[in-house]
Amino acid sequence: MIKAFLESLEDPNRPLLGPNYWLLNKIGLLLPENWMQRLCKVVIHEIATYFVLSQYMELYVIRSDLDLVLTNLKISMLSTICVIKANTFVFWQSNWHQVINYVTDADKFERENQDAAKGNIIHSYTKYCRRVTYFYWVLVFTTFITTTTTPLIRYYSSAKFREDFHNGTEPFPHIFSSWMPFDKEHSPGCWITVLWHIGICAYGATIVAAYDSSAIVILVYFGGKLDLLRIRCREMLGKCGLGISDKEANLAVRQLHEIHVLILKYSRLFNSVLSPVMFFYVVMCSLMICASAYQLTSSTNTTQKLFLAEYLIFAIAQLFMFCWHSNDVIYKSQEVMLGPYESDWWAADLQQRNSILLLQGQMQIVHIYTAGPFTNLTLSTFVAILKGAYSYYTLLRK
């Protein structure tokens, strides 16, 4: 059944982004053409934004309890990133459409003009994208289940908590800590709040799964496109030193130049919509990891430790996947300039060699993905964030 469902997500018009495009449509990040449906999707996104504001209102109310503050803070920061992703995607809808359409069209072009070497790369990055997408969806779904069932498991795993709850000394165990305009500690307000929190958690999990998996697949595609470009450069002057005519060489160089320019154009456009989100993510992720680590080491409940560990793994995995794939694209953009040197340039005449030099100069341009104006999205940044989170953690422990 699962296999049939996954196969139904495949789209022949979008051979690479099929499942990702489906989820982006379902959750409303890609707004529909109908104005009424579009308005409904926007309202849903803004309702989620209101929920985040209610979390910060509750944070002020519980400011005297450090454990509650840390629990609320790490959830609030994750919720903040979630609504930032949703609102920026809607606000920069046109730019996202351009990037997605470019990836789709460029991928279809490569599939229609492939040989054995290019086919291996296309098959490899397509298979990898599916694995990353489904792994990410499973990771997000696991976090959703963990988050929504934490109060229930806490209730059944601790006899003392059950006794204190029935005595009235423990409050109702809610999923999130957020302000509500009614009494959320007693029925029916407590159950309305539970349903509200489950709905918001499902929305947030789907937004994260749709946004992050799509962004990572696009990063993987840019890396694959650069690999394909390197192969095209290697083959631009023919094979076995037989050489080609000046007209054929000019056409090949012009095509490679246009491909590289388009990669840079849409890579930069993609970075322009991703970079502001990653800036907030990098800042808040440090605090999230720190808060989770502090609670993990100070908690005495085994069940709570397991849930905190899962939450900590999720936060680190999110950041790592962005930094890893961004770093991979940067590395491949540096390596693509070797393509012209791997061609049969030694068999070319002077005019063709001059064209190759111009192309090689063009390919020295390396575009680096950023997290705002302050840092690059690389593995060294990932390590620096973990170090910073550990520093905050040691400060809290003292």
Task: Give 278-316 pLDDT, tens digit per residue.
Answer: 988 887 777 777 777 766 676 666 666 666 776 777 778
Confidence class for position 155, pLDDT limits 50, 70, 90: confident
Among 195, 202, 86, 199, CA closest to 144: 202
pLDDT of residue 35: 86
Average model confidence (pLDDT) for the chain? 84
Report for 170-174, 227-231, 238-242, 246-250: range of highest mean pLDDT: 227-231
pLDDT of residue 217: 95
User: Is the pLDDT assigned to residue 33 strictly greater than 90?
Assistant: no
User: Is the pLDDT assigned to residue 130 strictly greater than 80?
Assistant: yes
pLDDT of residue 6: 79
pLDDT of residue 286: 74
pLDDT of residue 350: 78
Confidence class for position 79, pLDDT limits 50, 70, 90: confident
pLDDT of residue 67: 66
Tokens of 310: 């899962």
* Domain count of the fold of the chain: 1
Q: What is the mean pLDDT of residues 204-221?
A: 93
Task: Give 382-397 pLDDT, tens digit per residue.
Answer: 888 887 777 766 766 6
Please give the Cα distance from 135 to 126 (Å, whole number): 14
- Provide the domain limits for residue 346: 2-397
Tokens of 363: 């390919």
Confidence class for position 100, pLDDT limits 50, 70, 90: very high
pLDDT of residue 387: 79
Please give the Cα distance from 246 to 238 (Å, whole number): 12
Exposure on the CB side of residue 72, measured as CA atoms within 13 A = 23
Helices 379-397 and 302-335 cross at an angle (nearest 10°) of 150
Tokens of 144: 């959703």
